[in-house]
Amino acid sequence: MPTRYIGRDPIFKGKSLYEIARQLRNLGVGRIVYRQSQATRWPGQKTYFRLTKVVPDATCKEFKQGVAWGQEVFRGKARGITEITTGHKYDWVLVPKNEEKSFSEETEVFEVEESSVPKHIDCPPLLKIVLQKDLTAAGQPVPEKIELPFLSETYIKDLEWKWKS
Amino acid sequence: MATSLRQIALLGRQTWRQLKVISLGRKFSTTSKRMLLSETYYCNDAWRKHLQDPNLNQVNVAEFGYQIRDQLEMSGTVSAIDMNVLVHQLRNMDDDEADFIEDLLARFNMCQSSIPPSDSTAHAIIRSFLTKSYDGSARLVRLLSQPLQYGLFPDHYSLNLLLDKLIDSGDPAGASRVAYHTMLQEDLSSNPVHTLLCLQAAVARVLQGPISDLALPEPEKVEDEEEDWIKVKYIKFPVYDDHFDIKDERFLLGKTLHMLAQVQTPKCPELIVTSLGLIGSGIHHKFSQGLAVLEKVVDSSSGSVPLQALELFSESLESVQARDPEEPEVEIALRTVDDVIHRLLPTTEEKDEFQRRFGQLKEKLVSQEKIQEDFDLGPAVKDFVRSELPNYEKSDIEEQINKFSQWQRERESELTHQVEELMKNQRMEEIKKQVKELQEQEELLSYFDFEEKIRLTMMDEDLAKDENLTIAK
């Protein structure tokens, strides 16, 4: 009897990292794995891991749990040994040993542009007048341009979190 | 009366078991038949010495096995060292308890303590099953071919013992299964002895009979049948990686042969390498790879191709089922792995193109007189394996003897660690108990000082038990 699955279309077209690892001697340490979706997204810039340590959850029958570490290459750029947080997704592909050399050859590298976040912002007009008056009253020299330090939202959130804790 | 009868029965059973072990040991050690590997390769003396480790001989194997099973059932886990000790004693177990052991191995594979897998445990399993008089090797082959269920990944040396036994007993099907196991690990070139044994096993399997016999039976197609609808959150994509997911033995064998052709050490004669590459590509339905092998021979000045390999490749090419290029893809909701595998077959146009190119290359080979008609792959491989094996045995033997002592040291340190952990846990339990007693004693002595507080605690406890309570009991 043919089976028809009723549900959303699949997003991932691979296996979980732990399923691959459990079929390999030494849990695949030293082997190269990559995510299918990343390979499709950035075909010119290689994103992969060379596994250094894999600890799958042996009790999980669906091979969806565990922890793993590997030497990461993200979009052509080496990032050292990092933890693999997406090992449970059915998106992983093992690179055959005879293709490892050609696969890991240096390709196009994605360079991250330095984001130019300003360190200071212009002082609002009313505050500027108040500050000028205060400085004059205190007998201090008044600078031509008054600037305030810029605090990003993330920084403020971090500070708030620290104060709360 | 009942007790004495039971004792007599147990005594008889033990005596019978001891007699059987002695007879099996003799049978195993005094084999006069020349196997592929020499008797020294088995390191039987070192193994016997290894088994005399006092840590391994402190338990009664039958009782220990049942203890482990009970522990697995109660807590769902068992320590790796206990399992290691048990598998070293398997030789003393009855033959009819093999199913019980298999079940234990499968359950142990689902324990976190089975990670990382131990080479010592895997080696002991192989040795123990091989000494059994029943279908021990066949069972091992089954365990090896289900890595997700049993998690058995022995080292090359252990696999060599198994392969030697299977080849010697004339079981190419079982021996080739071991070669497939190593092929799936893509590790055919690390150990020369293992490479040679896998070569012999795989070639024997090819020449055993028609290749078409190895194919999976065609699934029966029933049209207009009612569909079984299953609701899921996401449909799982039917993945076929052409490696771990291969079920068709032709493809496993073809891929193994193709990988063996790429091995550098030991260096096979050119004719064997060409045959392996050509036959392997044909059986695995990678015809473009096979044609590339032929093109290489045509372009070379001194290369040649055995007729036997050409015929096998031609047979595979003729028999391959071509698919219709216009055939619509099965919708994702109904798609199975078989549909994905079907899409990998060559189209009718591709098959015609392969056949045309093959015909052209064959004509060129005939005109250049590069077809070897008198070459027989089977005897050539046998001779090559027999001549090369003794060159690589010595290093394996030395390495294995070192491993025995290393495993013994590891076991000792692991046992010491386990005992220390046990003592620590016991001491912690004792301390907890003492603290509790002290608290109770203190409560009794200082009851009137903290009466209000104690009453409130009692009320909280009562309320926790019964939410509808309005006043403490």
pLDDT tens-digit profile of B134-188? 678 889 999 999 999 999 999 999 999 999 999 999 999 999 999 999 999 999 9
B210 in a structural domain: no
Q: What is the pLDDT of residue B29?
A: 40
| pLDDT band at residue B3 using 50, 70 and 90 as cut-offs | very low
Instruction: Provide the pLDDT for residue A147.
Output: 87
**Are both A124 and A96 inside the same structural domain?**
no
**Would residue B364 count as lying in a domain?**
no
Band of residue B359 on the pLDDT scale cut at 50, 70, 90: very high
On whether residue A89 sits in a domain, the answer given is: yes
Whether the Cβ atoms of residue B166 and residue B188 lie closer than 8 Å to each other: no
pLDDT interval class at B471 (50, 70, 90)? low
Q: Would you say residue B394 has pLDDT above 60?
A: yes
The per-residue b/e assignment along B286-307, b for 16 or more CB within 10 angstroms, e otherwise, is bbebbbebbeebbeeeebbbbe
Residues B359-371: what's their mean pLDDT? 93
Do A26 and A80 share a structural domain?
yes
Within 402-421 of B, beta carbons closer than 8 Å to A belong to none
In a domain, A108, yes or no: no
- Residues of chain A with Cβ-Cβ distance to B151 below 8 Å are 22
d(CA B250, CA B282): 10
pLDDT bin (cut points 50, 70, 90) of residue B131 is confident
Same-domain pairing of A67 and A135: no
Domain of residue A129: give its range: 120-164
Q: Which residues of B touch A11 (CB under 8 A)?
A: 234
- Let me know whether A27 and A85 are in one domain: yes
- pLDDT tens-place string over residues B410-438: 999 999 999 999 999 999 999 999 999 99
Q: Within this chain, do residues A135 and A95 fall inside the same structural domain, yes or no?
A: no
Higher pLDDT, A50 or A120: A50
Flag the least confident range among A18-22, A160-164, B97-101, B277-281: A160-164
The reply to whether A86 and A124 lie within a common domain is no
Residues 17-56 of B with CB under 8 A from A: none
User: Looking at the domain assignment, is residue B274 inside a domain?
Assistant: no
Number of domains in chain A: 2
Whether residue A3 lies inside any domain: the answer is: no
Contact with chain B for residue A24, Cβ under 8 A: yes
Say what the pLDDT of residue A155 is: 80
Give the burial string for B51-72 (b: 16+ CB within 10 Å, else e): eebeebeebebbeebeebeeeb
Instruction: Answer whether A3 sits within 8 Å of B110, measured CB to CB.
Output: no
First to last CA, chain A: 59
Among A103, A135, A151, which residue terminates a domain?
A: A103
- Residue A90 contacts B where some CB pair is shorter than 8 Å: yes
Average pLDDT over residues B307-317: 94
Do A136 and A165 meet the contact criterion of CB atoms below 8 Å apart? no
State the pLDDT at residue B30.
39
- Which of A103, A132, A155 is the endpoint of a domain? A103
Confidence of residue B97 (pLDDT cuts 50, 70, 90): confident
Rounded distance, CA A5 to CA B141, Å? 35
B42 within some domain: yes
What confidence tens digit (pLDDT) does each residue in A33-82 have?
999 999 999 988 999 999 999 999 999 988 999 999 999 999 999 999 99
State the pLDDT confidence band at B472, using cuts at 50, 70 and 90.
Answer: low
**Is B243 within 8 Å of A96 when comparing Cβ atoms?**
yes
Kindly tell me if the per-residue pLDDT of B31 is higher than 50.
no
Percent of chain B with pLDDT over 90: 65
> Would an 8 Å CB–CB cutoff place A40 in contact with chain B?
no
Among A57, A77, A103, residue at a domain's last position: A103
Contact check, Cβ <8 Å, B232/A11: no
Query: Which alpha helices (H) appear in B300-376, and where do they start and end?
Result: 307-319, 337-343, 348-367
CA distance to A12, B285, B327, per residue, from B218 (Å): 29, 17, 19
Give residue B321's region: left, alpha or beta (phi > 0; psi -120 to 50).
beta
Closest to B230 (Cβ–Cβ): which among A3, A8, A27? Answer: A3
Which pair of structure tokens corresponds to residue B95? 């033959």
d(CA B308, CA B275): 8
Q: What residues have CB less than 8 Å from B158, skipping those under 6 apart?
A: B119, B122, B123, B126, B127
Residue B371's nearest CA partner among B462, B282, B310, B428 is B310
Query: What one-character DSSP code corresponds to residue A26?
Result: G
Burial class (CB within 10 angstroms; exposed 0-12, middle 13-18, buried 19+) of A97: middle
What CATH number is attached to the domain comprising A74? Answer: 2.30.30
Count Cβ atoms within 10 A of the Cβ of residue B412 and give its class: 0-12 exposed, 13-18 middle, 19 or more buried.
middle
C-alpha A36/C-alpha A115 separation (Å) is 29
Helix, strand, coil: what percent of chain A each, to 5?
30, 30, 40
Report the residue of A1, A4, A5, A32 to disrupt the B interface, i.e. the one with the largest count of B CBs within 10 Å: A5
Instruction: For residue B96, give its domain range.
Output: 37-180+394-433
Handedness of CA B77, B83, B87, B89 (dihedral sign): negative
In this predicted structure, what is the pLDDT of residue B436?
A: 96
pLDDT in tens, B441-455: 998 898 888 888 888
Asked which of A110-114, A136-140, B49-53, B150-154 is least confident by mean pLDDT, the reply is A110-114
Is A73 part of a structural domain of the chain? yes
Asked if residue B46 belongs to a domain, the reply is yes
Per the structure, the count of domains in chain B is: 1
Nearest residue, CB atoms, A2 vs list B115, B234, B334: B334
The confidence score (pLDDT) of residue B286 equals 94
Residues A86 and A160 in one domain: no
Q: Is residue B29 part of a domain?
A: no
Q: Do A86 and A128 fall into the same domain?
A: no
| Domain presence at residue A145 | yes
Is there a domain that residue A11 lies in?
Answer: no
- pLDDT, residue B1, reads 40
Question: Could you give the CA distance from residue B451 to residue B142 in angstroms, rounded to a whole number?
Answer: 69
Cβ(B247)–Cβ(B214) under 8 Å?
no
